[in-house]
């Protein structure tokens, strides 16, 4: 897979310090620049910015995928298999509740992957996944 440019994503949070602790301490994302209403993180090589939005209205829904209700919207990262397993264990040890427990999706089919869904402290849905064969990332 070719080297890709990092993405930039800004998301709303109501409680900056609670969200800051989640991304820094639970997910292990190094902090970058910050101000009183936002914080930059190195989100697995990408730039994630949390911005305070005190009057947040959540309009989330779900989409059926492989027998699960996948939360929409969501974001996350495709990790190496071992890193996915380690993060899954870290989340379990930190008592982070899963929206969809870690499991293998599309078993034996193109695009077979490990996946898990959980929310940050502010209700933003995250999905982390891994492929034993990264060539299956865009498989049809």
pTM: 0.89
| Whole-angstrom Cα Rg for the chain | 15
Tokens of 46: 């990408």
Residue 121 burial by CB count (10 A; 0-12/13-18/19+): exposed, middle or buried?
middle
> Are 99 and 120 members of one domain?
yes
Q: Say whether both 73 and 36 belong to one domain.
A: no
- Give a yes or no: residue 77 inside a domain: yes
Residues 46 and 70 in one domain: no
Q: Per residue in 36-88, pLDDT tens?
A: 999 999 999 999 999 998 776 766 788 888 888 888 899 999 999 999 999 99
Q: Which domain holds residue 94?
A: 63-136
Number of domains, the chain: 2
């Amino acid at each position: 897979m070719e080297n890709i440019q990092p993405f930039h994503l800004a998301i709303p949070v109501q409680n900056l310090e609670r969200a800051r602790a989640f991304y820094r301490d639970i997910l292990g994302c190094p902090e970058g620049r910050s101000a009183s209403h936002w914080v930059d993180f190195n989100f697995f090589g990408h730039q994630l910015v949390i911005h305070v939005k005190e009057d947040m209205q959540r309009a989330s829904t779900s989409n059926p995928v492989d027998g699960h209700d996948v939360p929409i919207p969501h974001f996350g990262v495709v990790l190496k298999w071992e890193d996915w397993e380690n993060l899954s264990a870290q989340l379990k040890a930190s008592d982070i509740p899963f929206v969809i427990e870690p499991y293998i999706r599309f078993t034996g089919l193109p695009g077979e992957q490990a996946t898990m869904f959980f929310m940050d402290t502010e209700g933003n849905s995250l999905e982390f996944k891994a492929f034993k064969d990264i060539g299956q990332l865009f498989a049809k």
